[in-house]
Amino acid sequence: MKIKKIILAIFFLGTVLIVSGCGCKEKSSHLYDLNLEIWGPLDQELALREVFDNYSFLNPNVARITYKKIAYDSYRRELIEALASGQGPDIFMVNNLWMPAFSDKVAVAPVPTDLKMITEQKFKNNFVDVAVSDFMNEGKIYGVPLSVDSLALYYNKDLLSQAGIANPPKTWNEFIDDAIKLTSVDSLGNINRSGAALGTVGNVNRATDILNLIMLQNGTEMIDKSGRVAFGNSIYGVSSNSGGAVYPGEEALNFYTQFANSNSFNYIWNSNMHYSIDAFSEGTTAMMINYSWNIDTVSAKSPKLNFAIAPVPQFENKPAVNVANYWGFVVAKNAISKISPNTPAVNNDTRVKESWDFLTYFSTKPDGSFINTASGSGVGQKANPNFDPAVNFLLKTQQPAARRDLIELQKTDPKVGVFATSNLVAKSWRQKDSTAVESIFTEMIDNVNKGQATVSDALKTAVQRVNNL
């Protein structure tokens, strides 16, 4: 009986060893060893490393993924030069406003051939509306975002409390009342402390974005259906109390610049004040409007500053609107495929598909398609099936989410919750050359501030110059 049990045990052990391959992990066959290179201007190599490592267990054809950071000041120039020579990256980051200028350099997502590939419906279900507007056109997907950033109101809690203001303003009328109350002026009319950093362009961080915000909130049509600039137009069928047409773009420019007009009742800021981020950090201005990426900047400049973040003010009786400024990941239309030695060559179509497979995995909500596919071929045994790349990335970078389901998770976050929620109502508008448009808007504000042009004339000139682009 004992001998029989021993024989059975040996037979069972032998069977297990054969089935399990002697306890060794079965290596899945793969077609090639492709290396993918990603370029960007942000310092996020460490935040991406775990994502890269996990993906390598899922896709045996991608041997290695690397991220190369390039200084922001030279990033766009170096990127364009590299793409033109074919020596550029496989995947690169673009600002959402750059997309019209880069559309001919980008490979759109391929027509889906399996469950992994991103589709138009999958994109719309995953991301906020502004991302759909910026990275989709006529059903084609040009890129994907991990994070979207929108504007919010930074406020000094101590200064508001000292002025008897219990809560930050929710509307622009409340904002004006609070800003005036918070502004301190000496006997000579000099502003010692400003209620808010608003009205100029040279010393207000992202001044043109704030003007865009007010324009969009005020119902300004930035471009018409034909793609022509329309922010100088009147609203059809709407008249002012005086019987004339309403020009929301002109009203928005006047609204913004009034805060730096010494003849205005709402004068709270001027070009002699310190740069807005510095003034807020120093406590010489009580409020400023900015993006989430400057939270750490303010904290570093003034660690003891008692400040908080609130939603950006809105116009009463109008839909809530914000402005988005963020980065997305796109696939280079043409690049030299980088493969490991002694492996088969990879054509450009395959490189594009592999790049888009990774971006889909990286940015969209996990649905099991990558784990299932990999596990079915014997790969993925070390991959974490509960790993969500976007969650992992956002936790490490502390950025507001682009994905709708993650905004729901972030909305109570004390640091990025306000920004994440605001992404749901964020907008942008297509600009042929965003750098040139920003320069034109800068001059428009500056000419009004210096009295070199009326609000109406400055706006008309800007419209003409942007149209000429």
Output the CA–CA distances (angstroms, integers) from residue 211 to 256, 258, 289, 358, in the order listed.
7, 12, 11, 37
Output the CA–CA distances (angstroms, integers) from residue 358 to 65, 211, 364, 366, 407, in the order listed.
10, 37, 10, 12, 22
Query: Would you tell me how many other CB atoms lie within 10 Å of the CB of residue 203?
Result: 20
Please give the chain's pLDDT, 469 residues, in tens. Answer: 444 443 344 334 343 333 333 434 344 557 888 999 999 999 999 999 999 999 988 898 999 999 999 999 999 999 999 999 888 999 999 999 999 999 999 999 998 887 788 999 999 999 999 999 999 999 999 999 999 999 999 999 999 999 999 999 999 999 999 999 999 998 888 999 999 999 999 999 999 999 999 999 999 999 988 888 889 988 754 444 555 678 999 999 999 999 999 999 999 999 999 999 999 999 999 999 999 999 999 999 999 999 999 999 999 999 999 999 999 999 999 887 787 777 778 899 999 999 999 999 999 999 877 765 554 444 445 667 679 999 999 999 999 999 999 999 999 999 999 999 999 999 999 999 999 999 999 999 999 999 999 999 999 999 999 999 8
SS3 331: strand
CA 367, 373, 379 angle in degrees (round to 5)? 120
Q: Residues 282, 274: contact at Cβ < 8 Å? A: yes
Encoded tokens for 375:
């596990």
Q: What pLDDT, in 10s, does the model give residues 167-195?
A: 999 999 999 999 999 999 988 889 999 99
Distance separating alpha carbons of residues 39 and 67, to the nearest angstrom: 6
27-147+326-405 shares its CATH topology with 152-323+432-468? yes
Q: Where are the domains of the chain?
A: 27-147+326-405, 152-323+432-468
Q: Which residue type, as a one-letter code, is found at position 225?
A: K
Distance separating alpha carbons of residues 346 and 62, to the nearest angstrom: 11
The DSSP code for 104 is G
Q: Which of 273, 291, 351 is nearest to 36 (CA)?
A: 351
For domain 27-147+326-405, the CATH architecture is 3-Layer(aba) Sandwich (3.40)
Q: What is the DSSP string of 15-69?
A: HHHHHHTTTPPPPPP-S--EEEEEEESS--HHHHHHHHHHHHHH-TTEEEEEEEE
Q: What is the DSSP string of 353-366?
A: HHHHHHHHHHHSPP
What pLDDT is stored for residue 372 in this prediction? 54
Class of domain 152-323+432-468 (CATH, top level):
alpha beta
Q: For the full predicted model, state whether its pTM sits above 0.95.
A: no
Query: Would you tell me how many other CB atoms lie within 10 Å of the CB of residue 390?
Result: 24
Distance separating alpha carbons of residues 386 and 397, to the nearest angstrom: 20
The DSSP code for 111 is P
